[in-house]
Structure 1
């Protein structure tokens, strides 16, 4: 698949890049995408939730009424879950929600997500650029030039570029990542993928294994 390379003002440079069919042109595997996104979201959960159970409640241990003769059910502890202020039955405990996926499945999921974006023509290739200083206005000008201002966009850099990253940090709709940080969730969560030309080689090399 050939895509024209544009500059930061959105004008064609006259060059084209050929995207690898092994990465951007496969038949998407929806189940692999589902599992990878599920794992990503599970890993975002802190798992620090906790409710006190019967043994952890502070309260008297005396038997609150006699065993027989009251005409009501027997009760031995004020900390019982059936009383107000008692412990919770099977309450949440701290846990890790993460689960393991093998590398081949995760690689297939990312290729599937990229192929879906390629099918939707939601990929833009921009020539390499840098900022001398962090400035949000400069980054907004780039988004305007590429026609993605106000849209959820993911800008993928070849190497981490601190000034470009800092310039984008205050904008809600756009996110800047390096090619090594690319994930299935982030690909699908964006309306447009903007690849800096220098990032393509590393992505295709990594996902073609």
Structure 2
């Protein structure tokens, strides 16, 4: 499989829309923040006095014992009691972005990678025998980067099987790739049939 670096002129010839200057940088930032916020789970959660285990029975009489008055063992001032003003996982971290913002961010990210000479095109990519060793050899024949994003219109089952255990290489279709994918990897390899899809998504 032969590979060539995708230049700006070649990208324009393939009808891929590129941004100029810093246009799209704010959209790119907004989209990246939204992607990461939408993955945030907010696992920190404490129980208040109504949620901790324990009886609500009054521990001793209000008067006459010489002890301070106490109503329940679930009180926050007792060990094992509820937590006051602790973190709760009721916060919704999700952020929304518009379709045009995501398109502009994708265009800006793709432009940056093309101008840096880190986008490589190849006619096709497939591993006929479905072996990981063959997959790694095929990737190394295209680029020497340590982590690689492979974008295609579609990959067959044998190719997916060969590459599923390779942690530093990700196979993704041109319909699913987003701006975060493009910026995460050191090298981006695009098959010839995926250029048309990218051109439609950036138009």
User: Normalising by the residue count of structure 1, what TM-score does the alignment of the two structures yield?
Assistant: 0.80
- Residues 83-128 of structure 1: per-residue CA shift (max 9 Å, x gap): 2111122432355432211000011111111111112111111111
Q: Would you say 1:99 and 2:91 are equivalent positions? A: no
Q: Deviation digits for residues 5-31 of structure 1, max 9, x if unmatched? A: xxx255x6xxxx820376334334222
Q: What SS does the corresponding residue of 2:171 show, helix, strand or coil?
A: strand
Q: Distance in 2 between matches of 1:183 and 1:70?
A: 69
With over 3 angstroms needed to count, the CA separation of the structure-2 counterparts of 1:111 and 1:78, relative to structure 1, is: same
Write the mapping of 1:1-209 to structure 2, written as runs, cut at 5 A.
8=1, 10=3, 18-20=10-12, 23-28=17-22, 29-47=24-42, 50-64=45-59, 75-90=70-85, 91-94=87-90, 96-148=92-144, 151-208=146-203
CA RMSD in angstroms, aligned pairs only: 2.7
Aligned twin of 1:5: none
Give the Å deviation of 1:146.
1.4
Deviations 1:142-181 (A, max 9, x none): 12111235x1110001124322222111111111100011
Query: Structure 2: where are the runs of 5+ without partners?
Result: none
Deviation at 1:46, TM superposition (A): 3.8
Alignment size in residue pairs: 196
Structure 2 residue aligned with 1:3: none
1:178 to 1:63, Cα distance in 2 relative to 1, 3 A: same
Partner SS, residue 149 of structure 2? strand
Contact 1:124-1:194 at 8 Å conserved across structures: yes
Q: Provide closer, same or farther for how the CA distance between residues 88 and 160 of structure 1 changes in structure 2, counting only shifts above 3 A.
A: farther
Q: Structure 1 stretch 36-45 or stretch 87-96: which is displaced more? A: 87-96
Structure 1 window deviating more from structure 2 (104-113 vs 93-102): it is 93-102
User: Offset of 1:41 from its aligned partner?
Assistant: 1.6
Q: Aligned equivalents of 1:165 and 1:78: distance in 2?
A: 57
SS in structure 2 of the partner of residue 129 of structure 1? coil
User: Partners in 1 of 2:20 and 2:177 — Cα distance?
Assistant: 18
Query: CA separation in 2, counterparts of 1:32 and 1:155?
Result: 24
Choose between structure 1 and 2 for higher RCO, CA contacts under 8 A separated by at least 6 residues: 2
**The 10-residue stretch of structure 1 (156-165 or 23-32) with the greater mean CA deviation from structure 2:** 23-32
